[in-house]
Structure 1
Amino acid sequence: MRFERSILFLFGAGVLMASRPAVSADLTCSSSATLEALVTCIRDQMPGRDSGIFVTPSSTQLSAWRGVVRAMMGGSCNIVLPSSLSSSARIRLLRDVDNGRRYCVLMEVGDRNSDGVVDLGLGTFIVDAAAERELAHSAPHATADLETEIQAVSIFKATRSRSFLMAGAHRDASFTDSACQSSTMISDVAHNVTNAFHATYLELAAFYGSKPWWAVQWHGMARDTCAEDVFASHGMDVAPVSGDKILELRRNLLADKPTWRVGVPGSSDCSLNATTNVQGRLLNLVSSSQVCGRSAASYSGRFVHIEQDPAFRLADYWINAVKATWP
C-alpha cells in the first residue's frame, strides 16, 4: 500500500482529516457538525429503492476496505486510502459539537455524474477510539427500516460504544438477484457477502478474536408483523439460556418501559429470528465461506438482532437499557 501525506481540512465546527483534496463531485456532508446530522446527510444521498444503483465491490476494494477498518479499530485516522478506494471514499476526523468527542469516519463521497447520489453504495463506518464499551452498532437496512440508522448512531454515541456501521444503499436498490441468497437483491447487505458492510464484520471478528465484544444490529418491522413491540434474538430460533444478553436487555428494557411487549425466541411466535442473516451466521461460528447457505448449529451470543415496531425506534428509549446490559 502506497502512503502519501494526509491533508488537513477545517469544515465549520468539525475538524476533518481527509486522504485527498475534495473535488466538485464529492458529497462530503462537510457542514454536518454532529454524528446524527452526518448520518442523516449520508442517508439522504444513498442510492434509494429501485434506483438500480449498487456496484458490487471488487476483491481488491474489499481487501482495501478491511485494511482501513483494521487501522481505524487500532486507533488510527490519519490514513491515506488505497487507490482502489480513494476516488470514491473519504476518511476524516469529526468533532461532534454536542459532546466534543472525536470520531473517525470512513464514508463514500464519490458522485461522478453529479446527480446528488453516491455512485457505488459502499457504506459508512465510524470508530470512537476512546470508547468505553466494545459494542459494534449497525444499521444494515438504512432508509428501508425507517430511522434505525439515526437510532443506531445515537445509541453508539450516547453509550460511548466502539463502532457504528451503516449500509451504503437501500436493501432493494439493485435490480440484480443475489447469488448468496436468491430471495434478496445484491444490495441487501444482511443477506450478501460481497459488500463493504459484510467485509467490516469480517474485520471486526478478526480484530476482536476471542476477546469479549457484541455486534448489535438495529432493524425495523411493520407494526403488525409480530405480537410484540420488540423482538430480540441471537440469530437462531432457540430459547436463550440464563445470562444471555438478549435476556438482560429485555429485563432492562422492561424495568425502564414496563408496558412494552418484548419477545425473544422460545417465548414468542414471532419468526424474525435472523437465522439467514449472514453476519449473524458468521458470528455464530459458521465458516465465512458457508454463511450464504449454511445455518448456524449453535449461537455464540456475540450477535444481537433487534426488530422493532415503528414507534419504538427512538434512541432515548434504549440508551439506559443498553448501558445497563453492557455496563
Structure 2
Amino acid sequence: MTALVAVAAIIALVIFASDSGRDNERTPGGLRPPHGELDLAQFLSDYAGELSSDARYKQPTAGQRAEVIELLRGLTPASRGTLTGRAQELGLTLSEGADMVTGRRFVMAASTPGDARAWGVFLIDTGAPRSNIVVEVPHPNFDMHTELLGLDLYRKAPGSVLIMAGAHRKASNGKADVAHQAESMFHSAVQLFAEGGRTEIQVHGFDDDNMPTTDVVLSPGSADAGEVITRAGRELERQEFAVCRAWEDNCGKLEGTTNVQGKAAREAGRQFLHVETSRAIRDSDQLVDKVAAALAAAVSR
C-alpha cells in the first residue's frame, strides 16, 4: 500500500466512526472499514510524507478562500454530514472520530496530497471546550517531523486546533511557502481559528549544524516579546533545553521576522510563538514530548 493510498484509507476509516450504519456508502478512500479510533500520528506522518516539492500547487482565489473559511467556521460533528458534499466540491474530505491516544473526539477537513487544491489539514478538537491555542505546521516534509511536534502540542492542549499546510514548501517554485503567503488557505484558516485573541504556536525545524549549541529558537516574529513567549523560554530551560531568544540574542535566519502569520498576529494584538527546534529534538519522541509539554504549560497559565 502506498502512502497516498494509506492516507485516503485513514480518512475513510475515521469517517466510519460516525456513520457505522451506512456500510454500503463509499468514500474517495473506498469502503468504510469497521473502526472508530484514528492514529492521528500515523495519519499526519503519512500525509506529510506524500508532499513533494514537484507536486502541483495552485494558490486559492479570494472566492475559494471565502468558501472554505465559511465551511470551516460552521464545521462541527453535527454539521459534518450536511457539509460533506460542498466540501468535496472544494477538494476537502470531512471526517470525525476519536484520537486513539487521548480518546477525545475531533472533526477534520483535509485536502488530498498531490492535488493542486492543496489546502491542508484542519483538525479541531471537539472533545473539550475550545482552548486558547492554535497550533500551526506550515512546512511539513520540509521541516521534518514538525507535524508530530504539532500533534503532541495539540494533544496537550484540549480544545485546540491544529492547522497543517497541504503542500511542500518548495512546490510551485516556492508559492506554497504558506508562512510567507498571506493569500494562502493556511493563512486564512489561521485568522479564522485565532479569532478572539487565541495564542498561535507555529512549529519549524532547523538542521543541527546551523546552530550546534542550540536546541530551540524562540521568536515572537515581528512583534515584541510578550508574557507567554518569555514564559515559554523559562519552561524550555526548565526542561534543560538550550534556548536562543530572538528578542535577546542573535538567532540568525531562524527568527521568523518576515512570517506573515506573525505579522497578522501583531496587528491583531495576539501572542505569536515562532518555534524552531533542532533535528535531534524532532527525531526523539521523548524530546518532542518535553518541548510540547513546556510550550503547553507556558500558554495554559
Q: Distance in 2 between matches of 1:255 and 1:69?
A: 37
Residue 69 of structure 2 is aligned with which of 63, 66, 87?
Answer: 66
Residue 315 of structure 1 is aligned with which of 288, 297, 300?
Answer: 288
Q: How does 1:168-247 map onto structure 2 within 5 Å?
A: 168-175=166-173, 185-205=174-194, 208-209=195-196, 212-226=197-211, 227-236=213-222, 240=225, 244-247=227-230
- The residue aligned with 1:128 is 125
Residues 152-201 of structure 1: CA distance to partner in whole angstroms, max 9, x if unpaired? 012201332410010001100113xxxxxxxxx21100001222101102
- The residue aligned with 2:7 is none
Percent identical residues: 23
Query: TM-score, structure 1 length as denominator?
Result: 0.75
Q: How does 1:104-123 map onto structure 2 within 5 Å?
A: 104-109=107-112, 117-123=114-120
Report the Cα offset of residue 230 of structure 1: 0.9
Quick one: which amino acid aligns to residue 307 of structure 1? Answer: E
Aligned partners of 1:32 and 1:41 also within 8 Å: no
Residue 268 of structure 1 is aligned with which of 242, 245, 249?
Answer: 249
Aligned partners of 2:156 and 2:296 also within 8 Å: no
Q: Distance in 2 between matches of 1:82 and 1:14?
A: 16
- The residue aligned with 2:135 is 137
Moved >6 Å (runs of 4+): none
Report the Cα offset of residue 42 of structure 1: 1.8
Change in CA separation of 1:119 and 1:13 when aligned onto 2, cut-off 3 Å: closer
Quick one: which amino acid aligns to residue 236 of structure 2? Answer: L
Report the Cα offset of residue 237 of structure 1: 7.2
Does 1:89 find its partner at 2:92? Answer: yes
Change in CA separation of 1:126 and 1:79 when aligned onto 2, cut-off 3 Å: farther
Query: TM-score, structure 2 length as denominator?
Result: 0.80
Aligned partners of 1:135 and 1:213 also within 8 Å: yes
Report the Cα offset of residue 75 of structure 1: 8.1
SS across alignment from 1:136: strand
Q: 5+ residue gaps in structure 1? A: 1-8, 112-116, 176-184, 287-299
Change in CA separation of 1:302 and 1:250 when aligned onto 2, cut-off 3 Å: same
Q: Distance in 2 between matches of 1:136 and 1:75?
A: 22
- The residue aligned with 2:232 is 249
Q: 5+ residue gaps in structure 2? A: 1-10
- The residue aligned with 1:325 is 298
SS across alignment from 2:122: strand
Q: Distance in 1 between matches of 2:130 and 2:215?
A: 29
SS across alignment from 1:80: helix
- The residue aligned with 1:11 is 13
- The residue aligned with 2:154 is 156
- The residue aligned with 1:292 is none
- The residue aligned with 1:4 is none
Q: Distance in 2 between matches of 1:39 and 1:228?
A: 27
SS across alignment from 1:133: coil
Change in CA separation of 1:166 and 1:12 when aligned onto 2, cut-off 3 Å: closer
Aligned partners of 2:77 and 2:107 also within 8 Å: no
Change in CA separation of 1:83 and 1:10 when aligned onto 2, cut-off 3 Å: closer
Quick one: which amino acid aligns to residue 174 of structure 1? Answer: S
Q: Distance in 2 between matches of 1:83 and 1:132?
A: 25
Aligned partners of 1:53 and 1:174 also within 8 Å: yes
- The residue aligned with 2:8 is none
Q: Which has the higher helix share?
A: 2
Aligned partners of 1:45 and 1:118 also within 8 Å: no
How many residue pairs match? The answer is 277
SS across alignment from 1:284: helix
